[in-house]
Amino acid sequence: MSTIAIILSVLAIGSGATLVMDAWLVVLRRLGVRTASIGLIGRWVAHMPRGRFLHASIAKAAPVERENALGWAVHYAIGVVFAGLLVAMTGTGWIQTPTWVPALMFGVVSVAAPLLVMQPTMGSGLLASKTPTPWANCLRSLVNHSVFGMGLYASALAVAQLV
């Protein structure tokens, strides 16, 4: 595969997997399950150039203009970066013949990002420890990232048909 084909494949796989996870989150919301606001990710990132990396509560931090748009952009960029890491770990041959085990395992491992980095710096604590239901929140994150992992696989299958 050419470098351009690999880059375009990773973009498609990461975006597709993120879209699958977002569709899952829409289903959860319609079932009455609370999900995090993507805008808060934008707020968190927007405060970084201002020197603010840690928040007691990102929800109480000063809102930032276009935080929702920034949050969505960051959300999809992270999905693409994760897809790139998966391809880097499995090799570019995985794009042409994807298998579900590495994708699901990578989705499960990717839950470390919100639980160990994002939530603590946004005020929810390590492993959501400062939330009213830490273990339920951790389990929900694990399921969401497992769905992302299956989205990696499904998106890679679609890309493999095109490559």
SS3 52: coil
Nearest to 16 by CA among 149, 162, 163: 149
3-state secondary structure 89-151: HHCCHHHHCCCHHHHHHHHHHCCHHHHHHHHHHHCCCHHHCCCCCHHHHHHHHHHHHHHHHHH
Tokens linked to 95 = 């794009």
Axis crossing angle, helix 67-90 with helix 3-30, rounded to the nearest 10: 130
Domain residues for 68? 3-162
Task: Look at the block and give the residue holding tokens 């597709």.
Answer: 16
This prediction has a pTM of: 0.94
| Neighbour-count burial for 88-100, b at 16+ CB within 10 Å, e otherwise | eebeeebbeebee
In the chain, the number of structural domains is 1
C-alpha distance from residue 80 to each of 31, 36, 60, 75 (Å): 28, 20, 29, 9
pLDDT in tens, the chain (163 residues): 999 999 999 999 999 999 999 999 999 999 999 898 999 999 999 999 999 999 999 999 999 999 999 999 999 999 999 999 999 999 999 999 999 999 999 999 999 999 999 999 999 999 999 999 999 999 999 999 999 999 999 999 999 999 7
